[in-house]
Structure 1
Amino acid sequence: MDEDLRERLRTAAASHRPDRARMLARIERGMAEEPPARPARAPRAPMPWLRVAGATAAVCGVLTAGAFAVTSAGREEPAGGQRVAAEPASPTLAPPSPGRGGALPAGKGPLWSDGSLNPNSNDYWAQSEVTVKTDRPLSALTVELRIALNGGVATTGSWRSLPEQDFAVSAREEDGFLVYRWTLKPGRSVPTGTHTFAGQYNHAEGTRDAGRDDYTARARAAAGPVSVGGDFSATR
């Protein structure tokens, strides 16, 4: 290369000034560009132990729901109407039982009655029931159940099949008897049909003598006052 060419190259290099602003602009444009998207990966299949755990959780959920349904279905209120408990009753309340012979003995006028011991009574607890049947509405009614205070008798509660708010209820000891009394409130009425009044009580272990127990039912119908009464079998 001749000396003249070398001199021209040196002169050109010495006179060159880089465009700094253009270089910075190119760098900024490059940084602003988004990197190419990566292809999506296919989801991994769950590990075998995860599948087993999921199946186990599902089975447990089904069993739990089934157990809850069975438990809920088993919680039934005892039949035989509502209870008015002076104290919590010990055993499960039993439904009213039919009178002796399966029918109500005839009473005076529109009123019939029967006294019976519920078959679910046992060696420690009993339920005495008075069943009253009327063929016309009653404007007044008082049912009295008397349980002789023998064999450690102590009240555990009472109930009646008619609405609770229609009656004033009491249970107290009077003249050697535990007396349950249901009195229809003024302005209320008893509809036509069969109605049950029951007294519950604990007693000493064994068979209790019910020979002195009795009941009365006094009522008023359109034709005037009427009353019925009776007793119970001598033993449970």
Structure 2
Amino acid sequence: MTDELRGLLRESAEAHLPDRARMLARVERGTARRGAARGRRDRARTGTLTWPKIVLATLATAGTLTVSALTVVAVVHTPDPPRQPAAAAPSAADRTAPPTAGSRTEDGPLWADGSVDPHSNTYWAQSNVTLKTRKPLTALVVELRIALTAGVKDTGSWRTLPAEDFELSAREEGGFLVYRWTLKPGRNVPSGEHVFAGQYDHATGGRDAKDDAYRIDAAGAGEAGAAVWGGFA
């Protein structure tokens, strides 16, 4: 191949090399046209959401919110299940007033009796208050009053029910040594027979218990209170 032919071929090949600048410009124009077409399609789709559809969409949203709100209201305003009323505790006047004259050994579910324990002796005595209840109790105050005859002095007390269920006090009040057992809030006394006892020294010899007395105030869950009282004569 002659040098002249080689030169002609080279010139022809260079004439067919792609123009990079023109190719880039063509790509940019094509991209711009596709973006414009997409924008027109998006606007066309947006335009199809006419006001009736907008209204329906708004109502659907509002309906969802309304249902949610009604659900919340229903939960908030659902009434609590009825609760059993708490028993009314004996009043302060009942707890501090001396037992009524005479006796009432039975009232509603309560029955009671007072007695001097047979193991008492010429120096020491124990007075027992026996309580029987046909129903469980949620409020209870048992009061034992020992007249302050010669030599009377507290030496202790006990009860057949758990000690931790009661508040106990023993003090001299108005000429009596007074033992008082008060059932703590939230505790219960089961139906059955229960004993409360006060122990005390006294002057040598026999002691007359005619002035001693007891009183019991009690109530069950949701029931009116009951009271019994009596003496040791």
Instruction: Kindly report the root-mean-square deviation, in angstroms, between the aligned alpha carbons of the 2 structures.
Output: 1.0
Distance apart, 1:221 and its partner CA:
1.5
Per the alignment, residue 199 of structure 1 pairs with: 198
Per the alignment, residue 120 of structure 1 pairs with: 119
Bigger Rg, which one: 2
Residues 37-88 of structure 1: per-residue CA shift (max 9 Å, x gap) = xxxxxxxxxxxxxxxxxxxxxxxxxxxxxxxxxxxxxxxxxxxxxxxxxxxx
**TM-score scaled by structure 1?**
0.54
Distance (whole Å) between structure 2 residues aligned to residue 173 and residue 106 of structure 1: 25
Structure 1 residues 132-211: aligned runs within 5 Å: 132-211=131-210
Distance (whole Å) between structure 2 residues aligned to residue 207 and residue 189 of structure 1: 38
Structure 1 residues 53-72: aligned runs within 5 Å: none
Per the alignment, residue 231 of structure 1 pairs with: 231
Distance (whole Å) between structure 2 residues aligned to residue 198 and residue 108 of structure 1: 21
Distance (whole Å) between structure 2 residues aligned to residue 228 and residue 118 of structure 1: 20
Distance (whole Å) between structure 1 residues aligned to residue 191 and residue 106 of structure 2: 15
Distance (whole Å) between structure 2 residues aligned to residue 213 and residue 151 of structure 1: 14
Distance (whole Å) between structure 2 residues aligned to residue 209 and residue 192 of structure 1: 33
Distance 1:120 1:167, change over 3 A: same
Distance (whole Å) between structure 1 residues aligned to residue 118 and residue 208 of structure 2: 15
**Gaps (5+ residues) in structure 1?**
1-104
Letter aligned with residue 155 of structure 1: D
Per the alignment, residue 29 of structure 2 pairs with: none
Letter aligned with residue 201 of structure 1: Y
Distance apart, 1:106 and its partner CA:
5.2
% same residue? 63
**TM-score scaled by structure 2?**
0.54
Higher fraction of helix: 2
Contact 2:106–2:112 under 8 Å retained in 1 = yes
1:171 counterpart SS class: strand
Distance (whole Å) between structure 2 residues aligned to residue 157 and residue 106 of structure 1: 25
1:224 counterpart SS class: coil
Matched, 1:215 2:214: yes
Structure 1 residues 76-91: aligned runs within 5 Å: none
Query: How many residue pairs align between the two structures?
Result: 129
Distance (whole Å) between structure 1 residues aligned to residue 201 and residue 105 of structure 2: 31
Distance (whole Å) between structure 2 residues aligned to residue 114 and residue 145 of structure 1: 11
**Gaps (5+ residues) in structure 2?**
1-103
Distance (whole Å) between structure 2 residues aligned to residue 209 and residue 126 of structure 1: 11
Point out 4+ residue stretches in structure 1 off by more than 2 angstroms.
none
